[in-house]
Amino acid sequence: MQILDSLKVLGVPATFFVIGRYLELNPAITQRVIAEGHAVCLHSYSHDYAYLYPGRVGNTVNIATDYDRALAVAKRALGPAYAPNGYRYPGGHMSWTGLADADVALAQRGVSWIDWNCMSGDADKRPPANPDQAVAALTSTFTAAGSPSAAVMLNHDSHDKQVTLASLPRYVQFFRDRGYGFGVIG
């Protein structure tokens, strides 16, 4: 909820890639996300790497089944008209092999996979300890991506991401200083 409060103050829309099993436990947060003009896309139901990518190879049947389960949960929470057009593979598309058939299965459902091109590092084994380190991680990954004309930044919004929350105004300023506007995916 604090991320939503901060985004409201900053006047910035965002896209939230939600995990179905968490949405199922607390649909009110995702309903608030939609009500405040943000977008909701799916990030699997299970977020279970061993199930989705046994041997680090995408299992198309498991990915499609997991997606369908997440979509069913989202439709119960957000209404039958909810139809996302974006999906983020747990771990990111670039982390696994053998996803071509899963990409086709998602496309048949009207969904494209989306990855990021810069990040705060808040999911790393050693996440940033403070906003200065978090902004340094953003700067480094943004530069490594060639200062893309369309930036998609990866952050996480779980309760233990206090550095991400504290850094959010600085992330927004980082992009505003470079002439970026803000919008949603999906």
In this predicted model, what pLDDT tens digit does every residue of 43-54 receive, in sequence order? 999 999 999 999
- pLDDT tens for each residue of 36-92: 999 999 999 999 999 999 999 999 999 999 999 999 999 999 999 999 999 999 999
| 183 pLDDT more than 90 | yes
Residues 6 or more apart from 24 whose CB is under 8 A from it? 73, 77
- pLDDT tens for each residue of 159-168: 778 999 999 9
Which DSSP symbol is given to 111?
-
The pLDDT of residue 161: 84
H or E stretch including 42?
Answer: strand 39-42
Place of tokens 């771990």: 91
pLDDT band of residue 118 (cuts 50, 70, 90) is very high
**Average pLDDT score over the chain:** 96
The pLDDT of residue 184: 95
Residue 123: count of CB within 10 angstroms of its CB: 14
Name the percent of the chain lying above pLDDT 70: 100
H or E stretch including 40?
Answer: strand 39-42
| 8 pLDDT more than 90 | yes
Residue 99: count of CB within 10 angstroms of its CB: 22
The pLDDT of residue 52: 98
Q: How far is CA 111 from CA 11, 64, 84, 166, in A?
A: 27, 11, 7, 32
pLDDT band of residue 115 (cuts 50, 70, 90) is very high
Q: How far is CA 186 from CA 38, 40, 121, 134, 152, in A?
A: 10, 7, 24, 26, 13
pLDDT band of residue 2 (cuts 50, 70, 90) is very high
Which pair of structure tokens corresponds to residue 145? 């991506």
Listed as own residue / partner, the contacts of 94-99 with beta carbons closer than 8 Å and 24 or more positions apart are: 96/53, 96/56, 96/57, 96/58, 97/56, 97/57, 97/58, 98/57, 98/58, 99/58, 99/63
pLDDT band of residue 7 (cuts 50, 70, 90) is very high
User: Average pLDDT in the 142-163 region?
Assistant: 91
Domains parsed from the chain with CATH numbers: 1-115 (3.20.20.370), 116-179 (no CATH)
Q: Please tell me the pTM assigned to this model.
A: 0.94
Name the percent of the chain lying above pLDDT 90: 95
